[in-house]
Structure 1
Amino acid sequence: MKYSDIDFNDKTILITGGAGFIGSNLAFYFQENYPNALVVILDCFRSGETLSNGNLKSFGHYKNLLGFKGVVISGDINDTKLLKKLETEYKFDYIFHQAAISDTTVNEQDLMIKTNVNAYEDLLKLAIAHQANMVYASSAATYGDAPSPQTVGCENPGNVYGFSKLMMDNISYEYIKAGAEISIVGLRYFNVYGPREFFKNKTASTVVQFGHQILAGKTPRLFEGSDKILRDFIYIEDVIQANIKACVPKQSGVYNVGTGKARSFQDIADILQKELGTNLGTEYIPNPYIGQYQFHTEANIESSIEQLGYVPQFEMEEGIKAYIPEIKRLFETEVK
């Protein structure tokens, strides 16, 4: 499905983090809908290197790109020589910046700021040099424990990841204010789920994790009170829609990408069991994150609707139903 009247054929498109969850879905959106577009993927593919929390430094995986026919470049966005090479060897029309350290539990503040903040400004300068419209991944983590509905301008990040994304937004506002001759749009993703997230490992959504627990015959394990822990869960197709519509916004700026509806973790478990035809019940365990855990997120998407023309298409029931075949395939090929 095409989400815009823009003809991306014969355009050159850079997707950073293109072997990751959202980046790879964007790559295939262009390949399937605009076969004459040149799509260039830059990703720091996983190497086995881990951070102090034990998680992988990079989640990029070649399996997310099986069937991709564009250009794939392995590299780090912190490499200024590489960015210079991209600037001289290509002439980009659009840049979708999805690359980041996205693990919210990372302790390395220096690496987080260098990768998420400083490298972004370098890439933004490249976009301006090429007159390429910039769409980049911000995050609902910028809001921290701000009350719902979370609204742009009411940020209170609770970790260095959220802080780094807020700094990216601040940089964008400065360039917009200075009259940058490109559109610059930051998209604050809420809780995204869907195909090609599996290789995020422990940071993949509870949708796929619960799905695989259920397929293994295990009772899904939820924190106590999960019927009252609410999040704005958004299916990947709506995130792709937002990215495409952000290419030519009415106004550059930062926008929320959610459904505008909070749903519970209990809802996820219940919908999955209905779709998978099981009745395993639910096991409740103590929540160790009380006091450092968001208990309610809900995106205020009024400005996203008005300025981007973004309207979410998938209720949670529809998103999970669409995801079920991929959850089953992954269970057979990657989990069992």
Structure 2
Amino acid sequence: MKKLLVTGGAGFIGSNFVHYWKEKYPSDLVVVLDALTYAGNIESLNLVKDSENYEFVHGNICDQDLVEKLLQKHDICTIVHFAAESHVDRSITGPDEFIETNIIGTYSLLKAAKKVWLDNGIKADHRFHHVSTDEVYGSLEADDPAFNEDTPYAPNSPYSASKAASDHLVRAYHYTYGLNVTTSNCSNNYGTFHFPEKLIPLLLTNILQDKPLPVYGDGMQIRDWLYVADHAKGIDLVLQSGRLGENYNIGGNNEWANINIVNLLCNLLNKVFSEDATLHSRFPFAKNAINGTAANLIEFVTDRAGHDRRYAIDPSKSNDELGYEPTETFESGIEKTIHWYLNNETWWKPLLK
């Protein structure tokens, strides 16, 4: 039986990981620590709230004393660290919270882990797993090879710089103090419980409300897209088989230009509305989707400052060492995502501005 502390477990990726873990390992103890800032939603954990061996704690990762008490009280052996400020636009207009949460918060967790697992007597089976992003590697040109684990860091936004700093702290605590750590760097996630400020849920919810679909610049920024449940599976494999002190890239082998994502979702929503007339009454404001003209909502806007042109992950190391392969194709993952948003209006609607 494992005993996990999952930080940021009420957020998008964290909550999906908690669902995945409780389904696959129901006897394991999962303690979720989340500050419930704007992107943390306790409703995302409703599916597991009545599970055995589950506890939710409302608290901040910067509270080192609280983290130490949780590690000791529950005899935690594994920390899976998702908690982070993650929206690039917000990091440009207000970077302070990103420095506080992503750097100071990670440092606080590392200090707590070191004190409980090392300073107070060695807990041999401990693990600190840090969840990071491909954005720490910077930007790729169209013909550049994908990021691998040896790609030099070159972050271009306050968000990615704060994540890069946290990655380095985690590495330092392994090499300096002997803390058992692993890090995973993922590509863009999509799927259920995704806060509707990010591209795919923003497009879906805007189409359902007949609101403009903002596209930065020419829309040709390219991202590698990963279904969130496949990310959870990849983290599981790192925890089970990853080498200590190592980084593992978890990607979807699925590069798309933003404008192509926009057009795809417009076409898919048009199709769904044409095939299911009940949606017309459920979403009466979705006039363009009802009429099969969702693409009319596309609106090109001024590009974001310092907007990285392309991200792409080479997951060969995870494939070879861990046996990692995504389960979902982009087609199957997008279909699941669309139907989840159509069937969970009560989750996303209260989050809209």
Q: One fold, TM greater than 0.5?
A: yes
Number of residue pairs matched? Answer: 310
1:118 deviation in Å? 3.0
Equivalent position of 2:5 in the other structure: 14
**Normalised by the size of structure 2, how large is the TM-score?**
0.79
On the 8 A contact 1:141/1:162 being kept in 2, the answer is: yes
1:79 deviation in Å? 1.0
1:220 deviation in Å? 4.3
Determine the C-alpha separation between the residues in 2 that align with 1:101 and 1:209: 18
Amino acid across the alignment from 1:304: S
Unpaired stretches in structure 1, ≥5 consecutive residues: 1-9, 47-57
In the alignment, structure 1 residue 222 sits paired with structure 2 residue 211: no
1:268-283 superposed matches below 5 A:
268-276=261-269, 277=271, 279-280=292-293, 281-283=295-297
Determine the C-alpha separation between the residues in 2 that align with 1:78 and 1:304: 31
Structure 2 CA distance for partners of 1:219 and 1:254, relative to 1, 3 Å: same
Determine the C-alpha separation between the residues in 2 that align with 1:126 and 1:234: 31
Amino acid across the alignment from 1:313: T
In the alignment, structure 1 residue 26 sits paired with structure 2 residue 26: no
Percent identity of equivalent pairs: 25
Structure 2 CA distance for partners of 1:158 and 1:59, relative to 1, 3 Å: same
On the 8 A contact 1:117/1:167 being kept in 2, the answer is: yes
Determine the C-alpha separation between the residues in 2 that align with 1:302 and 1:201: 31
Equivalent position of 1:87 in the other structure: 71
Deviations 1:117-147 (A, max 9, x none): 2332332344450442122211122122344
Q: Which residue, out of 36, 39, 42, partners 1:62?
A: 42
Amino acid across the alignment from 2:232: I
In the alignment, structure 1 residue 185 sits paired with structure 2 residue 179: no
Determine the C-alpha separation between the residues in 2 that align with 1:74 and 1:290: 34
Determine the C-alpha separation between the residues in 1 that align with 2:347 and 2:12: 18
Structure 2 CA distance for partners of 1:290 and 1:125, relative to 1, 3 Å: closer
On the 8 A contact 2:184/2:248 being kept in 1, the answer is: yes
On the 8 A contact 2:173/2:179 being kept in 1, the answer is: no
Deviations 1:152-194 (A, max 9, x none): 3322111222112111221222233347262x22121221111
In the alignment, structure 1 residue 123 sits paired with structure 2 residue 109: yes
Equivalent position of 1:308 in the other structure: 322
Amino acid across the alignment from 2:302: P
Q: Which residue, out of 238, 248, 254, partners 1:246?
A: 238
Q: Which residue, out of 267, 274, 293, partners 2:307?
A: 293
1:296 deviation in Å? 1.6
Determine the C-alpha separation between the residues in 2 that align with 1:180 and 1:333: 42
On the 8 A contact 1:224/1:284 being kept in 2, the answer is: no
Amino acid across the alignment from 1:120: T
Amino acid across the alignment from 1:189: C
Deviations 1:299-323 (A, max 9, x none): 1212222233221222321210121
Structure 2 CA distance for partners of 1:290 and 1:215, relative to 1, 3 Å: closer
Structure 2 CA distance for partners of 1:249 and 1:113, relative to 1, 3 Å: farther
Amino acid across the alignment from 2:83: A
Equivalent position of 1:261 in the other structure: 254
1:131-142 superposed matches below 5 A:
131-142=125-136
Structure 2 CA distance for partners of 1:286 and 1:74, relative to 1, 3 Å: same
Structure 2 CA distance for partners of 1:322 and 1:179, relative to 1, 3 Å: same
On the 8 A contact 1:220/1:283 being kept in 2, the answer is: yes
- Partner of 2:76, secondary structure, is coil
> Would you tell me which structure has more helix in proportion to its own residues?
2
**Normalised by the size of structure 1, how large is the TM-score?**
0.82
Structure 2 CA distance for partners of 1:314 and 1:157, relative to 1, 3 Å: same
Determine the C-alpha separation between the residues in 1 that align with 2:167 and 2:211: 42
In the alignment, structure 1 residue 144 sits paired with structure 2 residue 142: no
1:43 deviation in Å? 0.4
Equivalent position of 1:36 in the other structure: 27
Deviations 1:196-238 (A, max 9, x none): 11xx342x3x222222233335674534633x33211111111
Equivalent position of 1:3 in the other structure: none
Decide which moves more: 214-223 or 164-173. 214-223
- Partner of 1:260, secondary structure, is coil
On the 8 A contact 2:8/2:83 being kept in 1, the answer is: yes
Determine the C-alpha separation between the residues in 2 that align with 1:257 and 1:30: 17
